[in-house]
Chain A
Amino acid sequence: MPDSVTAAARRLLPSSVLGRNLLGVLAGLLVVVVVLELTGPFRNSQFATMSYYAIAAVGLTVLTGLNGQISLGHGALMAVGAYTTGLLLETGAVPFPVAMLAAAAVTALAGVVVGAAAARLHGPYLAGATLALAVGVPGLAIYFDGVFGGEQGLRVSSPRPPDWLADAVYFVTAGDLTSARYLAYIGWITLLAVLLLLANLTASRYGRIWRAVRDDEVAAELAGVRLGRMRVLAFVVSAACAGLGGAVLAMVVRLAAPSGFTIVLSLSLLTAVVVGGLGSLTGALLGSALLVFLPPAVTGLGTDLGLTGTQAAELAPLVYGVVLVVVMLVAPGGVLGAVHRLRHAWTRRRQGARDVGAVGSSKQGG
């Protein structure tokens, strides 16, 4: 592509961060539409699953990666969102977008409480406190079983596509708007909205302050940053994301039950964030994709290799663990960290080669 064309194209791109992010999200939306329309109902449902993991994971990566606070309690925060959504949808009077917003708001409120306590804690103590959250919250659902349905959980009536939308989609794509696809759209549109907000936020003053707090508390405080307030804010933003993720989870799974929000969920989110690359939104997306697509792929591979169903099922957690260990050994910065490192190395070598070439040609000329 000639340089003038690129320059022209670049001039077309908005110069503001918000504008660029908006354009990115719009491009993302197009990709989502194309992918969801071209894949079958099962892939659609996997994408729906990925969306709720990703919504919570991007929130967590902002908290842990940018602000340096570790949370083992995001599964519990997702539970708060899921139960809020379930309770609101049960009444039948609330449209689902309102229920989702309410879920985010309620979880944000829970985030204020937890965040206020967490802001005083560091490292392992913070991990311990949030761990208590992860263990305690599902217990609440069992204790107050009259409201939350106990061990069996709360059935959630997930939204069905309205007729006009189904007809419109059929008109455009000649494909039925299945419920799996509709839920995947809900999940991904929510995810894109969250990504847009977080991308702006992290590029803004707050993002810089969070990073400053993470890197050097004393310096940040000297610069006039109020540490506690900023920490709580990060926690609240992150909790709201987890709540939204929980809302999508409730609608996709059609159930909010304590056994769905064990410590395993919190740890999965943390692994997704770490494996993808801590602090990076793209990394969180990659990690979530791994959570969703790796286990069935491994099980399928195991069955193809002639293992019995049980053995194949046992293979999945094994491979997951191995991948985790290998990533930590080979690429401690996560997948995205490794990509960045490789790209740096490559650019440097190319630059080196060009310098050598330049020297050579100048010699020839001289």
Chain B
Amino acid sequence: MTKWVRRRRTALVAAVAAATVLASACGAGGRSEGDSGGGAADPGITEDSVKVGAHFPLTGVAAPGYSAIPTGAKAYFDYVNANGGVHGRTIEYVYRDDAYNPTNTSQVVNELVLQDEIFAMVGGLGTPTHSAVLDFLNSNGVPDLFVSSGSLLWDQPEQNPMTFGWQPDYEVEGKIIGKYVKENFPEAKVGLFLQDDDFGRDGEKGARAYIDDQIVAAERYAPGNTDIGPQIAALQAAGADLVIGFNVPSYTALSQLTALRLNYQPQWIYSNVGSDPALVGALLGRFSEGKVTDSSMLDGAITTEYMPGVDESDDPWTQLWRKVWDAHGGEEGELSNYRIYGMAQAYTFVQALQAAGPDPTRQGLVDALEQVGGELRGPAFVPFRYSADSHAGMSGVKVVRIKGNGSEDLSPVQVTDNGDAEITEYTEEQATPPANGIPDVQPAG
């Protein structure tokens, strides 16, 4: 038997050696210079199609809620394709699962860019996950549009020229919440409940810009650790009668249940990210093993909004999303705020692609967004801050109170910027959706 193995191994070595020699013989010897330039030869785009991709947690702990976003985006792209596409091109949308694990994100984004050969990335989700692929996308010149996260990382045009944010960043949201508390709860002792990463840090920075002297405690939780009893008890002990939470939905549910157990009843304010009533309601039911069955616990909590949600059935945008969902995604489940989020991102991408003109290149798409991105109007209450110097997303939110699965306005829509920028009321009337539901942006430049 050893004879067999050896004989085969020798043959293998010979074959491999021969193959190597052959491969080297095919070598060209010298490098030809100056074959860059890309142009119409950019990957992912042909005469009649353009391919975009994204990474989302479709399985695992972060999947509830977030896994619905790409289904919304897909429905809207299908809707646009059914109506003739963009400049005659249909949009092909590929999304892959990273289970909210940055190691997986790097693998699936490799797959999207190198194998699927996407033209652009649209809406990749998560701060730790997406930061794992930031360098890769930028060094490969792949437009990295509308990251689904409010981190400030996406606004670094010098370092990451291809990456753009989309939703209002957490600092801007924190500032507007801070100002609201200062004006409406001037006597309140404020406690902060923060996710221990950029999310919590940026939000805290924004809030402290206005109510630093009112804050009596700042408690942080590590995502993954589901016992937040100590943090909530510390907030209670510090006498906080108003708690601002920069946390994800599952921690909204956990903080509610923990406070219930401790008989702690402050006024809750949650950042937009953590406040979807439908999802929090479902999570409350699951965490309490059925003892809490609806989202009524969240009634009266304050949060922010930057576009109309699924409950506002009279809003023309929500009506558009419902029409799109009924036609192109209906059998996958109910329309939800997460699906609307995906559709709104897809809407912005269609605008960007239109602005890039009839023969878009990767660089052209980015240039177009820098040129006209600030003028784009869509479902959001406020404009984007896109320019050559800024890749930051929406500039503001309005403060609302949660009521059932919906909300009522507490403040007008306000806009601001990072750092010392003033908060001002935004007075421009919200745009109405185009009659056919598809934007019509003229090519830039």
A152 contacts chain B at the CB level, 8 A cutoff: yes
A257-B128, A262-B101 known; A30+B16 contact, CB < 8 A = yes
Separation in Å of the B213 CB from the closest CB of chain A? Answer: 26
Whether A153 and B10, one on each chain, are in contact in the complex, defined by CB atoms closer than 8 angstroms, is: no
Interface 1/0 per residue, B337-362 and A, CB below 8 Å: 00000000000000000000000000
A347 contacts chain B at the CB level, 8 A cutoff: yes
B residues within 8 A CB of A361?
A: none
A223 contacts chain B at the CB level, 8 A cutoff: no
A residues within 8 A CB of B23?
A: 34, 37-38, 172-173
Whether A314 and B131, one on each chain, are in contact in the complex, defined by CB atoms closer than 8 angstroms, is: no
B20 contacts chain A at the CB level, 8 A cutoff: yes
Which residue from chain B places its CB closest to the CB of A178 in the assembled complex? B114
Separation in Å of the A146 CB from the closest CB of chain B? Answer: 12
Which residue from chain B places its CB closest to the CB of A138 in the assembled complex? B224
> Which stretch, A212-220, A247-255, A321-329, touches the partner chain B?
A247-255
Whether B198 and A152, one on each chain, are in contact in the complex, defined by CB atoms closer than 8 angstroms, is: yes
Separation in Å of the B196 CB from the closest CB of chain A? Answer: 6
> Which stretch, B24-32, B263-271, B424-432, touches the partner chain A?
B24-32
B residues within 8 A CB of A45?
A: 107, 110, 114
B158 contacts chain A at the CB level, 8 A cutoff: no
B212 contacts chain A at the CB level, 8 A cutoff: no
A6-B3, A174-B26, A254-B132 known; A139+B222 contact, CB < 8 A = yes
From 260 to 281 in chain A, residues with beta carbon under 8 angstroms from any chain B beta carbon are 260, 262, 264-265
Which residue from chain A places its CB closest to the CB of B16 in the assembled complex? A30
Whether A42 and B6, one on each chain, are in contact in the complex, defined by CB atoms closer than 8 angstroms, is: no
Which residue from chain A places its CB closest to the CB of B7 in the assembled complex? A6
CA distance A46 to B111 in the complex (A): 9
B179 contacts chain A at the CB level, 8 A cutoff: no
Whether B17 and A255, one on each chain, are in contact in the complex, defined by CB atoms closer than 8 angstroms, is: no
Whether B96 and A309, one on each chain, are in contact in the complex, defined by CB atoms closer than 8 angstroms, is: yes
From 215 to 239 in chain B, residues with beta carbon under 8 angstroms from any chain A beta carbon are 222-225
From 147 to 175 in chain A, residues with beta carbon under 8 angstroms from any chain B beta carbon are 150-153, 155, 157, 167, 170-174
From 39 to 86 in chain A, residues with beta carbon under 8 angstroms from any chain B beta carbon are 40-42, 45-46, 49
Whether B13 and A30, one on each chain, are in contact in the complex, defined by CB atoms closer than 8 angstroms, is: yes
Interface of A is mostly: helix
CA distance A51 to B370 in the complex (A): 40
Separation in Å of the A135 CB from the closest CB of chain B? Answer: 10
Whether A317 and B59, one on each chain, are in contact in the complex, defined by CB atoms closer than 8 angstroms, is: yes
A313 contacts chain B at the CB level, 8 A cutoff: yes
Whether B128 and A10, one on each chain, are in contact in the complex, defined by CB atoms closer than 8 angstroms, is: no
Interface 1/0 per residue, B73-104 and A, CB below 8 Å: 01000000000000000000011110011110
CA distance A13 to B7 in the complex (A): 10
Whether B114 and A40, one on each chain, are in contact in the complex, defined by CB atoms closer than 8 angstroms, is: yes
Which residue from chain B places its CB closest to the CB of A5 in the assembled complex? B7
B106 contacts chain A at the CB level, 8 A cutoff: yes
Whether B27 and A173, one on each chain, are in contact in the complex, defined by CB atoms closer than 8 angstroms, is: yes
A190 contacts chain B at the CB level, 8 A cutoff: no
CA distance A40 to B113 in the complex (A): 12
B residues within 8 A CB of A265?
A: 103
CA distance A160 to B246 in the complex (A): 38
Whether B31 and A30, one on each chain, are in contact in the complex, defined by CB atoms closer than 8 angstroms, is: no
CA distance A259 to B132 in the complex (A): 11
A residues within 8 A CB of B128?
A: 151-153, 255, 257, 259
Total residues of chain B contacting the partner, CB 8 A: 58
**Which of A23, A38, A139, A172 gathers most chain B CB within 10 Å?**
A172
Interface size band for A? 35 or more
A113 contacts chain B at the CB level, 8 A cutoff: no
Which residue from chain A places its CB closest to the CB of B97 in the assembled complex? A313
A residues within 8 A CB of B101?
A: 259-260, 262, 264
A252-B106, A308-B332 known; A150+B3 contact, CB < 8 A = no
A255-B106, A309-B74 known; A6+B6 contact, CB < 8 A = yes
Q: Which of A42, A171, A264 contacts B111 (CB 8 A)?
A: A42
B residues within 8 A CB of A152?
A: 127-128, 131, 197-198
A residues within 8 A CB of B6?
A: 6, 9-10, 13
Q: Which of B1, B10, B17, B28 contacts A9 (CB 8 A)?
A: B10
CA distance A33 to B67 in the complex (A): 39
CA distance A317 to B26 in the complex (A): 42
B262 contacts chain A at the CB level, 8 A cutoff: no
Interface 1/0 per residue, A303-315 and B, CB below 8 Å: 0000011100110
CA distance A246 to B301 in the complex (A): 44
B residues within 8 A CB of A174?
A: 26-29
Which residue from chain B places its CB closest to the CB of A264 in the assembled complex? B101
Whether B58 and A310, one on each chain, are in contact in the complex, defined by CB atoms closer than 8 angstroms, is: yes
Whether B7 and A30, one on each chain, are in contact in the complex, defined by CB atoms closer than 8 angstroms, is: no
Interface 1/0 per residue, B22-54 and A, CB below 8 Å: 011011111100000000000000000000000
Whether A31 and B16, one on each chain, are in contact in the complex, defined by CB atoms closer than 8 angstroms, is: yes
A residues within 8 A CB of B12?
A: 27
Whether A255 and B102, one on each chain, are in contact in the complex, defined by CB atoms closer than 8 angstroms, is: yes
Whether B31 and A253, one on each chain, are in contact in the complex, defined by CB atoms closer than 8 angstroms, is: no
Separation in Å of the B137 CB from the closest CB of chain A? Answer: 11
B287 contacts chain A at the CB level, 8 A cutoff: no
Q: Which of B16, B132, B196 contacts A255 (CB 8 A)?
A: B132
Whether A151 and B71, one on each chain, are in contact in the complex, defined by CB atoms closer than 8 angstroms, is: no
A residues within 8 A CB of B111?
A: 42, 296
From 91 to 110 in chain A, residues with beta carbon under 8 angstroms from any chain B beta carbon are none
**Which of A150, A180, A265 gathers most chain B CB within 10 Å?**
A150
From 107 to 138 in chain B, residues with beta carbon under 8 angstroms from any chain A beta carbon are 107, 110-111, 114-115, 127-129, 131-133, 135-136
A-B contact pairs, 6 of them (CB 8 A): A9-B6, A142-B196, A171-B29, A254-B136, A259-B128, A299-B96
The 8 closest A-B pairs by CB, nearest first: A313-B97, A42-B114, A42-B115, A174-B28, A260-B103, A313-B58, A255-B132, A151-B197
Q: List the interface of chain B (C-beta within 8 A of A).
A: 1, 3, 6-7, 9-10, 12-13, 16-17, 19-20, 23-24, 26-31, 58-59, 67, 70-71, 74, 94-97, 100-103, 106-107, 110-111, 114-115, 127-129, 131-133, 135-136, 139, 195-198, 222-225, 332
Beyond A9-B6, A34-B19, A255-B103: 4 further Cβ-contacts under 8 Å? A40-B114, A143-B222, A265-B103, A313-B96
